[in-house]
Chain A
Amino acid sequence: MREKDIFIVADNVFSPLGKTTAANFLKLKENISAVKQHSNTKLSTLPFFASLFDENTQFIEDDKHAYTKFEQLLIASIADALQGAETNASDKKTVLIISSTKGNISLLENEPVSAELKKRIALSTSAKLVAGHFGFVNKPVIISNACISGVLGIITGMRLLRSGEYETAIIAGADVISKFILSGFQSFQALSPQLCKPFDIAHDGLNLGEGAGTIILSANKKYAGSIKVKGGSVSNDANHISGPSRTGQELAGAITTAVKDAGILTTEIGFISAHGTATVYNDEMEANALSISGLQAIPLNSLKGYYGHTLGAAGLIESIISIQSLKQNYFLPALGFEKAATGSQVNVCSAPMQITANNILKTASGFGGCNAAVVFGK
């Protein structure tokens, strides 16, 4: 018996490339990246490559509430997604899910630490403000699970709808790049000194990025015919808190379970949107996992070359763009990839592909040894 179908009703990508999914996809088709070199001493004493909003970017008009940049990003993204749907935020059967790794942490950089500031930084405070802005009646769900937060948000939403708890789930993820985050990745020597090169032989680290993404899911049959979120799974490496699995076995486990949950065969996956951070450790682990799963021949990309690593938003932004590809039969390359890393057997795209696919796989992995996989399809 197939589980209840869950449909994708509307979405939004809000990034330095554009304020809507359509605007973003147009830029991607023109092969434009948002990653640039920045010299901003407020963020870093050294120049760095990242995808950042211009300092004067207006996210929402007439903000009387003193929302933070993080909250404004969420609001802007959710507002646009809601516009494309008949969703009523105040419906009792609607739930808001917010994914973020570091939320309002940048507030530490400008204000002295106080009890009030700690409360202001709490993700629950932001979630309440955002929920209040739209009039959601149910308590928002907040997920903070490192770099799988976005994909885990989609999986959590899918399950809440499958169980009949809600009819509609609005999943929004955002992260803002701050000195806190940048200095941390620098201390880890995880940043590339140039544009990142996912899966390439010369991959030497990641670029960070900021942005937001929102997906609206519905269990309502009136959306039959829309792209579905078919299955998902999460696993842990149980190996190391900051380095990925040596074998990729655990991500492979999540992939296999997600495919099974989707009720399809691995052979029915037509394209893969990998995590592909462009760190040697991540790319190798992911390539291993895809090989173990029997997916080494399936074309794949990483969108990090366009957006950088947008942390808690990454799983959402990259899923939404991949869903757009599924609709338009136009799949994007892994920008920055030219020649396969030594020993890698995966099929990384270096040019756009105009193919039809029925199902796509999205993967993500993060600190704490977490892995997530989700399947979208027609």
Chain B
Amino acid sequence: MLTEKYITGNCTISKGAVSKNGLTVFENNTPVNAFLLAVYQHLQLNYPKFYKMDNLSKLGWLAAELLLKDGFDKEAYQPEEVGVILANANSSLDDDLKYFDSIKNTASPSLFVYTLPNIVTGEICIRNHFKGEQAFFIQDTFDADFIAKQVNYLLNNNILQACICGWADVIDQEYKAVLFLVEKQKKETSVAFSAENMETIFKKDQV
């Protein structure tokens, strides 16, 4: 039942910097709203729905865009073979606060829809047509070991053939997304899929 699994790509957005597979691709030290827009513009994306998203969805969605850019062969998979397993500490609180502010006047349905952490999962799935397993876990800090076990179960049992997993968290001006693409086929830049390797990549922005 055990199959070989690799981290075939990773992407980090944190502290004003964006990196893919360990290489910084963009830096911009502006407040979170301007920063996320700058990343979007830097990647030369054209996706009007982006502007409607809350910051958590923008962050996770942008990280997924960069993660899958150049190198991910979407055609190799059926929609239901690709899943998204994410975690964060603050759930959707960043948007919850904004929504709650809105109800003093008129409750805003467009803010309310983002008051769930798994909406970012939905945004990633809509963009990429992924229809496989998904789960959103709340953890006070990134629990690489737990995430690795979840993804291992799904890939070992052939429930999924590829999985995006990792962390996406925003609260006020603090944000961090670290996403991993996990596949069964080795690529040039691959490292073995393990909690240790995820942990190492996750902590890179801290040096």
Contact flags B124-137 to A (C-beta < 8 A → 1, else 0) = 01101111111111
A336 to chain B, nearest CB (A): 25
The interface residues of chain B lying within 8 Å CB-to-CB of A241 are 113, 119, 122-123, 126
Contact flags B102-117 to A (C-beta < 8 A → 1, else 0) = 0100111100110111
Q: Is B97 an interface residue (CB 8 A)?
A: yes
Q: Is B144 an interface residue (CB 8 A)?
A: no
A319 to chain B, nearest CB (A): 17
Most chain A CB inside 10 Å of its own CB: which residue of B109, B118, B126, B132: B118
Q: Is B77 an interface residue (CB 8 A)?
A: no
Give the CA-CA distance A141 to B145 in the complex, in Å.
12
Q: Is B89 an interface residue (CB 8 A)?
A: yes
The interface residues of chain B lying within 8 Å CB-to-CB of A123 are 91, 138
* Contact B121–A240 (Cβ < 8 Å): no
The interface residues of chain B lying within 8 Å CB-to-CB of A233 are 133, 159
The interface residues of chain A lying within 8 Å CB-to-CB of B100 are 108-109, 180
Contact flags A230-243 to B (C-beta < 8 A → 1, else 0) = 00011111111110
Give the CA-CA distance A142 to B140 in the complex, in Å.
10
Q: Is A102 an interface residue (CB 8 A)?
A: yes
* Contact B103–A142 (Cβ < 8 Å): no
A251 to chain B, nearest CB (A): 11
Give the CA-CA distance A77 to B165 in the complex, in Å.
32
* Contact B125–A188 (Cβ < 8 Å): no
The closest CB in chain A to the CB of B134 belongs to A236
Q: Is B72 an interface residue (CB 8 A)?
A: no
Q: If A144-B136, A187-B107, A241-B123 touch, does A163 touch B112 (CB 8 Å cutoff)?
A: no
Query: Main SS of chain A's interface residues?
Result: mixed
The interface residues of chain A lying within 8 Å CB-to-CB of B113 are 188, 241-242, 367
Q: Is B26 an interface residue (CB 8 A)?
A: no
Within 8 A of B (CB), among A131-151: 139, 141-146
B31 to chain A, nearest CB (A): 18
Q: Is A26 an interface residue (CB 8 A)?
A: no
Q: Is A156 an interface residue (CB 8 A)?
A: yes
The interface residues of chain A lying within 8 Å CB-to-CB of B132 are 235-236
Give the CA-CA distance A333 to B80 in the complex, in Å.
33
Q: If A145-B134, A241-B126 touch, does A139 touch B143 (CB 8 Å cutoff)?
A: yes
B3 to chain A, nearest CB (A): 14
The closest CB in chain A to the CB of B88 belongs to A144
* Contact B89–A184 (Cβ < 8 Å): no
* Contact A238–B91 (Cβ < 8 Å): no
> Size range of the interface on A?
35 or more
The interface residues of chain A lying within 8 Å CB-to-CB of B84 are 236
Give the CA-CA distance A122 to B122 in the complex, in Å.
22
Query: Which of B103, B123, B126 meets A180, CB within 8 Å?
Result: B103
Contact flags A105-124 to B (C-beta < 8 A → 1, else 0) = 10011000100001001111
B159 to chain A, nearest CB (A): 8
B158 to chain A, nearest CB (A): 11
The interface residues of chain B lying within 8 Å CB-to-CB of A163 are 149, 153
Query: Which of B119, B131, B146, B171 meets A237, CB within 8 Å?
Result: B131
Q: Is B96 an interface residue (CB 8 A)?
A: yes
Q: If A368-B116, A368-B122 touch, does A235 touch B131 (CB 8 Å cutoff)?
A: yes
* Contact A141–B119 (Cβ < 8 Å): no
Q: Is B90 an interface residue (CB 8 A)?
A: yes
Q: If A118-B171, A143-B135 touch, does A238 touch B126 (CB 8 Å cutoff)?
A: yes
Give the CA-CA distance A144 to B56 in the complex, in Å.
15
Give the CA-CA distance A236 to B123 in the complex, in Å.
10
Q: If A123-B91, A144-B117, A183-B103 touch, does A370 touch B134 (CB 8 Å cutoff)?
A: yes
Query: Which of B103, B122, B125 meets A367, CB within 8 Å?
Result: B122
Q: If A122-B89, A235-B131, A237-B131 touch, does A184 touch B115 (CB 8 Å cutoff)?
A: yes
Most chain A CB inside 10 Å of its own CB: which residue of B119, B122, B123: B122
Q: Is A302 an interface residue (CB 8 A)?
A: no
Q: If A235-B133, A240-B126 touch, does A122 touch B138 (CB 8 Å cutoff)?
A: yes
* Contact A239–B126 (Cβ < 8 Å): yes
Within 8 A of B (CB), among A210-265: 233-242, 250, 253, 257
* Contact B137–A143 (Cβ < 8 Å): yes
The interface residues of chain B lying within 8 Å CB-to-CB of A370 are 118, 121-122, 134
B169 to chain A, nearest CB (A): 11
* Contact A369–B125 (Cβ < 8 Å): yes
Q: Is B167 an interface residue (CB 8 A)?
A: no
Q: List 23 A-B contacts (CB under 8 A).
A: A113-B97, A118-B93, A122-B91, A123-B91, A141-B146, A144-B116, A145-B116, A145-B136, A156-B150, A159-B153, A160-B149, A180-B100, A180-B103, A183-B112, A187-B106, A187-B109, A233-B159, A235-B132, A235-B133, A240-B126, A241-B123, A253-B80, A367-B116
Q: Which residues of B contact A (CB under 8 A)?
A: 79-80, 84, 89-91, 93, 96-97, 99-100, 103, 106-109, 112-113, 115-119, 121-123, 125-126, 128-140, 143, 146, 149-150, 153, 159, 171
Those 5 A-B pairs whose CB atoms lie nearest each other, nearest first = A368-B122, A184-B112, A187-B107, A142-B138, A124-B140
Sample of 16 further A-B pairs with CB below 8 A, known A188-B113, A234-B133, A238-B128:
A118-B171, A122-B90, A123-B91, A124-B140, A127-B138, A142-B138, A145-B117, A156-B135, A160-B149, A180-B100, A183-B103, A235-B134, A237-B122, A238-B125, A241-B123, A366-B116
